[in-house]
Chains A and B, each alone.
Chain A
């Protein structure tokens, strides 16, 4: 039975609660592990690069942290939700469950830890003296665009992963490459050709990170045109992915 709106939300919430409980079960430090990783990354990358690639960037630690947190969110959320259908094979074959609800609840789990990390980022901003400006009000909009992007990727990947079990490996490799092709620990090189610059700019995560740095670190208001174009770009990706998902999901259970 396809559930109504209220029931759909209930399902996403309940799966979210179940997955949260499963994540922190049996671990000693529990939730802390989830937060620890990006800050360890921050420490390592800062020590490695602050004197070289990071030279000349004011508050490099915050510059870095913004890149790390966004990338972490994207890569963890997509990697986790990729498996959300195949891991629930048994229950999907025995009772009706809306597949998107399962994918959304996986993403939500990672989103919650992202929110906690943002709070800590806020702490860094205060401690480093950067503080906040009213431009920070643009930030939720950037997060929304990021969520749309993550949902778009997850919807398609989770279905493909049922058809081809090695999608998970492919994605893992792509993410590793992506980490280096996204200006997380370095700025986009100034003296590169337009073509190479295009590679950076086509990567939506680059834009998200640049926007966030503008808003939070440099306290610059992003250009309306620029944001609007980017939002439209991600919206197109999102709409396309929903159409692909609609097609793929009809037969995905037969392949399980």
Chain B
């Protein structure tokens, strides 16, 4: 179960190049306010029940990734409250979690632990993880030798075997290998039957329609619509059209 009440998230972006202590001190003395405030999320309230599969859609920059990071507790909300019940296993971008110079074997142990497994559990599942990812011959190879798609398969495989209640993904279906995609679809159906809670974002609206019990549409950090997939996808399409026509008027 995931619950957000009036969650807002503010980012302070420097307007000119800083980052060293000296420049920071100087600009403070001179009194320059070299900052811009961006509200990536603006009073977001949503509730996800256990066992639901929820999709987040919206244009780039609408706040989807920020929302996922808040749920994962990578970011803390600037205001509002968050409640998460259940173990979360998630990675936003699946090909970023590995140490490139370590072998697949070493990375599985590390990543498996990050996902909450213990050594024994990982050892037991090692062959299953490798089989699912279809990467058996790379067991001792360094992860840097894998393609991005292969890394994503491996990460996804480990996450599945971690067997946690809540799964969060950001564009995992960007993976273009059709055959593996179909395999994943089968897995997602299985996870839904097991009563897992899944929250994900995707630009592929067919996937949203296929799996999601509910969909939220984000724009400029706000939830502008929520409901069942067909309805919200239509709203999104309308929104995009409106945005396009606004742009063409300019």
Contact = CB atoms under 8 A, between A and B. Distances in A.
A193 interface: no
A225 interface: no
Contacts of A164: 19-21, 24
B69 interface: yes
A170 B21 CA distance: 10
B160 to A, nearest CB: 15
Given A1-B88, A21-B102, A164-B20, A95 B116 contact: no
Contacts of A11: 113-114
Given A94-B93, A254-B11, A166 B74 contact: no
B74 A1 contact: no
B24 A14 contact: no
Interface string B56-89: 0000000000000100111110000000100110
Interface in B88-140: 88, 90-93, 96-97, 99, 101-102, 106, 109-110, 113-114, 116, 118-119
Contacts of A26: 101
Interface of A: 1-3, 6-7, 10-11, 13-15, 17-18, 21-22, 25-26, 90-97, 164-167, 170, 250-251, 253-254
Contacts of B106: 17-18, 21
Contacts of B101: 22, 25-26
17 contacts: A1-B72, A2-B73, A7-B118, A10-B113, A10-B119, A17-B109, A18-B110, A21-B102, A25-B101, A91-B96, A94-B97, A95-B74, A96-B73, A96-B88, A164-B24, A165-B20, A254-B75
B114 A95 contact: yes
A94 B96 contact: yes
Contact of A1 (B11, B110, B116): B116
B37 to A, nearest CB: 12
Name, among A3, A14, A17, A170, the residue most crowded by chain B CB atoms within 10 Å (CB to CB): A14
A185 B204 CA distance: 67
A2 B114 CA distance: 11
Given A14-B109, A18-B99, A166-B21, A96 B74 contact: yes
Interface residues of B, number: 33
Contact of A90 (B21, B96, B119): B96
Contacts of B109: 14, 17
A250 B73 CA distance: 10
B88 A165 contact: no
A15 to B, nearest CB: 7
Contacts of A93: 69, 74, 92, 96
B99 A94 contact: no
Contacts of A97: 114
Contacts of A92: 74
Given A1-B88, A2-B73, A95 B20 contact: no
Given A15-B110, A21-B106, A170-B21, A95 B87 contact: no
B76 A250 contact: yes
Contacts of B76: 250-251
Nearest to B103: A21
A95 B113 contact: no
Nearest to B86: A1
B89 to A, nearest CB: 8
B122 to A, nearest CB: 9
Given A93-B92, A94-B92, A164-B19, A1 B113 contact: no
Nearest to B9: A254
B24 to A, nearest CB: 7
Contacts of B72: 1, 95-96
Nearest to B11: A254
A10 B118 contact: yes
Nearest to A90: B96
B110 A22 contact: no
Given A6-B118, A22-B102, 18 more contacts: A1-B73, A13-B113, A15-B110, A17-B110, A18-B110, A22-B99, A90-B96, A92-B74, A93-B74, A95-B92, A95-B97, A96-B73, A97-B114, A164-B20, A164-B24, A166-B21, A170-B21, A253-B75
B159 to A, nearest CB: 10
Name, among B74, B75, B118, the residue most crowded by chain A CB atoms within 10 Å (CB to CB): B74
Nearest to B117: A10
